[in-house]
Every structure is written in C-alpha cells, then in structure tokens.
Amino acid sequence: MNRRQALKSMAAAGCVLVTGCGGSSGSSGGGSSTPSGGGPPVGITMPTTQAAFLVDLIQQGCLFFWEQASPTTGQVLDRANNYLGGALDSRTTASIASTGFGLTALCIADKYGYLPSVSHAQIVERVQNTLSWHLNNMPEENGFFYHFSDINTGAPETGSEVSSIDTSILLCGILAARAYFGGANPQIQSLATQIYQRVNWPWMLNGGQTFSMGWMPGTGFLTSRYDTYCELMMLYLLAIGSTTYPVAPSYWNNFARPILTYDGYQYISGNSDPLFTHQYSHAWFDFRTKSDAYANYFTNSVTATNAHKAFCLLAYPQWYNTDYWGITSSDYSGGYTAWGGPPAQGPIDGTVVPCAAAGSLAFDSADCYVVLNSLLASYGNPAWGRYGFVDAFHPSANWYDTDCIGIDQGISVLMAENLRSGLVWSTFMSNPEPANAMQLVGFH
C-alpha cells in the first residue's frame, strides 16, 4: 500500500487524509491539560555539541527542499531517495504540504546561510516562481489545492482530493515567505496575499459546523470532517483570520477536545492519533504563552510528547528505551502507515521514526535530543544520508528506509529551528491575519 492509498484508507475509516484521526466519537472537553514542563525561551542556550547537531539536522533538511523541488513550479516532491547525491528524484509526485514546509525552510536557509552554494537572489527567485505558479497555473477549487500533483505540470494525481488541511499547510508556508521576503519584495508580498485571499473557506464547510477534509471531482465533498482535535488548529485559524472569505470565530468552538489519560498524563487528544497531530500547527503558530478557554495547547503538546515516550517505553520495552523511541505516521517495511499511541495504533513492530522526536524538539528538547543524537551515533549510515535521517528504520530487522518524506523532513526542520532561534514563530506570527485570528477566538 503506497502513501496515497494509506491515507485514503484512513479517510474511509474516519481518519484524516494526511494527519491524525478525526472521528466524531470523542466528547467535547472542557478542562486543561496537565503538562510536565514548559516551552523553551527563544534562543535557548544549549551545549555546543547539541547546537551543532541541530544545525546539521536543519541544514541537511533544508537541502532536501532546495534539491527535490522544481525550479519552474516550486513544487516539492512528496518523497525522494536520500542517497541520490543531489539529483532530483525521478518520481514526479509533489505534495502541497511538502511545498508549504519547503517555502518555510527556504526562509530558514536564507536567514542562516544553510545553502552555501545558493545565493540569496536564487532563493528569492525560487520563492517568487513558486508563488506565481500556484497563483496563476496550479489547478484549484475555490482557492483550495489538490493534495498531490505532478511536479512539472501541476496536474492533479489520479485519485487526489482537494485537501483542506494540506492547503492550510501550504498557506502557512506562503505566509511565512510573505513575512520573511515580502518587505523587500513587493511581488512576493502581492502574490502570497492573493493566494491567501482567494481561498473560499465557507465553501469547505459544505453547510456544516466543521470543515470537510476535502472535495473530489465528480463526487463532491468527503463525508469525513475535522471535528475532533488534531493538527486542525491551523485550518480554523487561517479561515477565521481571512480578510476576504472568513468564517465566524465561533467555529473555533465546534471541534471536540476529548481528554486522554495515560500513565498519569492527561491532555487533549483524538483517540490513537499519531504524534504529528500535536506538532504541525505549532510549527508556525506560536501557542507557547497563550491559552484559550480550553487549554494552553503548547503545554498540551509537551504532555502529549511525554506520554508518547512513556507509551513506547512501557508498552514495548522489548524494542524501545530512552535512546530509541518515537513513532508517528511514516514508512515501515510494509509501506506507509499511520501508527502511534497511546493507545496503540497501527502495526507497531519496533521501527523508529526520527521525525517523531525531531518534531517535538521544541516541546521536550532534552529527551528528544538524546534520542536523535543516539540514533545518529548508533546507526549512522544508512540511517542518515544527504538530507539527514531517512524516514524510518528498524535496525534489529535490518530494515532501513531509503526515502525521505517531505512533510516529515519539514516538521523536523521547522521545530528544530524554533527550538534553536524561534525564527519560524516570530516570522509567521508577524503576519496580521494569524495574530488577529488568535485574538478573535479568545487567546490571551
């Protein structure tokens, strides 16, 4: 089963197409989470070796988004081989979510010179080409984009849906690029704003109180909805912050926030959701010092990370330990799967997924650094290639993925940089629309 088939099967079972489970069985939660720690300050002081490791992780991840993208369309491949020596992978399936992470990675790379053979002018040109293509050439429906497309033509891949959450990830990258490059480049400012303002958010509600997960040509809207807490916060906040086609702030209260308890940890989570559902919105939106009527979602993700580590160590001690833990939707020896916990989801077999810890670096820097550094020190090549870690590996079964997946590289790069400098948070939140949306829904 390839990645697209896995995501489609998740949708049929009531789970989201890209990220997490979103069934409607959970009840709406009041209460707050019980975090075990707080977030890092911007520019956290860390040992030299840890800082160097983070730079390597970020820099090599940024290289993926430069090399595995079309210079003409700016689209980034959904996945690529980690051992191509810099050549563009022969596969042609791009992902709009991968492109959204990629635009943000280019901001990071430009700021800190992480692409030493690429000039500032080349990065600006790539960003401008990407935005122009997506505004003027990329197929869309009411401003929403198809999940998967041909990297060269933009034509939707067979069976691909117009995706609400993946469009949101792309838009987060577009707004990050607007904030970072737009001040000095009016064309980037204009292109990014036009793409965002074109999105007809009420259309994706399809007459309901929560957003549909997508739309298919010929059959219309998917019946599954983003009605239970997961990575959906970016979707709702982007819609509420829109200056052209907004939805009312009251829609923020319409998705359920069930409380999950595991090993003494209590936090808001959909049942059996993979760990990335607690990471993605946090890559751009800065929730660290703000709470709404329900929770501080940053500390909620701190708790979710700690609970996931405890789950790995307690439920599967034959495989996982403090130097080796972390699973989230990824490749495994049987293909692509959605797995994680607590409670257990998917065919958990001892495979480790580096982006589980990397995507939580800003939530639990000490524990996540330990496991990532240990994975590199213990397994090196073939676990680590041109773009950093491969997507997943299972050393005791002698299985190492050869691919990197764009969204997994992306969450690793962005959250590592947020821990290191806070750059993505400060850049993205300088946009007026996200900040206004958070205020409208009651963050304080």
What pLDDT shows up at residue 112?
Answer: 97
- Backbone CA torsion sign across 345, 351, 355, 361: positive
CATH of the domain at 115: 1.50.10.140
Query: From the CB of residue 248, how many other CB atoms can be counted at a distance below 10 Å?
Result: 12
The answer to whether residue 2 sits within a structural domain is no
The answer to whether residue 137 sits within a structural domain is yes
Cis bond upstream, residue 342 (ω within 30): yes
What pLDDT shows up at residue 276?
Answer: 98
What pLDDT shows up at residue 271?
Answer: 82
What pLDDT shows up at residue 50?
Answer: 87
What pLDDT shows up at residue 47?
Answer: 79
Q: How far is CA 182 from CA 100, 192, 195, in A?
A: 16, 9, 14
What pLDDT shows up at residue 2?
Answer: 29
For the chain, what is the radius of gyration of the CA atoms? 20
The answer to whether residue 286 sits within a structural domain is yes
For 57, half-sphere exposure in the C-beta direction (CA atoms, 13 angstrom radius) is 33
Q: What's the CA gap between 57 and 421, in Å, rounded?
A: 14
Contact 443, 290 (CB under 8 A): yes
The contacts of residue 70 (CB under 8 Å, 6+ apart) are 88, 94, 151, 152
Q: How far is CA 93 from CA 72, 76, 170, 227, in A?
A: 15, 9, 16, 29
Query: From the CB of residue 370, how many other CB atoms can be counted at a distance below 10 Å?
Result: 16
Over the stretch 348-406, which tens digit does the pLDDT of each residue have?
999 999 999 999 999 999 999 999 999 999 999 999 999 999 999 999 999 999 999 99
**pLDDT tens sequence for the chain (444 residues):** 323 333 334 433 433 333 332 332 233 333 333 333 344 445 567 778 888 999 999 999 999 999 999 999 999 999 999 999 999 999 999 999 999 999 999 999 999 999 999 999 999 999 999 999 999 999 999 999 999 999 999 999 999 999 999 999 999 999 999 999 999 999 999 999 999 999 999 999 999 999 999 999 999 999 999 999 999 999 999 999 999 999 999 999 999 999 999 999 999 999 889 999 999 999 999 999 999 999 999 999 999 999 999 999 999 999 999 999 999 999 999 999 999 999 999 999 999 999 999 999 999 999 999 999 999 999 999 999 999 999 999 999 999 999 999 999 999 999 999 999 999 999 999 999 999 999 999 999
What pLDDT shows up at residue 20?
Answer: 31
pTM of the model: 0.91
Cis bond upstream, residue 186 (ω within 30): no
Residue 118: domain span: 23-432
The answer to whether residue 441 sits within a structural domain is no
SS (H, E, C) the chain: CCHHHHHHHHHHCCECCCCCECCCCCCCCCCCCCCCCCCCCCCCCCCHHHHHHHHHHHHHHHHHHHHCECCCCCCEECEEECCCCCCCCCCCEEEHHHHHHHHHHHHHHHHHCCCCCCCHHHHHHHHHHHHHHHHHCCCEECCEEECEEECCCCCECCCCCEEHHHHHHHHHHHHHHHHHHCCCCHHHHHHHHHHHHHCCHHHHHCCCCCEECEEECCCEECCCEECECCCCHHHHHHHHHCCCCCCCHHHHHCCECCEEEECCEEEECCCCCCHHHHCHHHHCCCCCCCCCCCCCHHHHHHHHHHHHHHHHHHHCCCCCECCECCCCCEEECCEEECCECCCCECCCCCCECHHHHHCCCCCCHHHHHHHHHHHHHHHHHHHEECCEECCCEEHHHCEECCEEEHHHHHHHHHHHHHHHCCHHHHHHCCCHHHHHHHHHCCCC
The answer to whether residue 13 sits within a structural domain is no
Q: Which two tokens stand for residue 286?
A: 């800065």
The answer to whether residue 443 sits within a structural domain is no
Number of domains in the chain: 1
Q: What's the CA gap between 124 and 417, in Å, rounded?
A: 20
Contact 142, 90 (CB under 8 A): no
The contacts of residue 429 (CB under 8 Å, 6+ apart) are 284, 285, 286, 435
Over the stretch 94-115, which tens digit does the pLDDT of each residue have?
999 999 999 999 999 999 999 9
Q: How far is CA 41 from CA 181, 291, 303, 409, in A?
A: 25, 17, 18, 23
The answer to whether residue 1 sits within a structural domain is no
The answer to whether residue 7 sits within a structural domain is no
What pLDDT shows up at residue 35?
Answer: 32
User: At 40, phi and psi to the nearest 5?
Assistant: -80, 155
What pLDDT shows up at residue 180?
Answer: 98
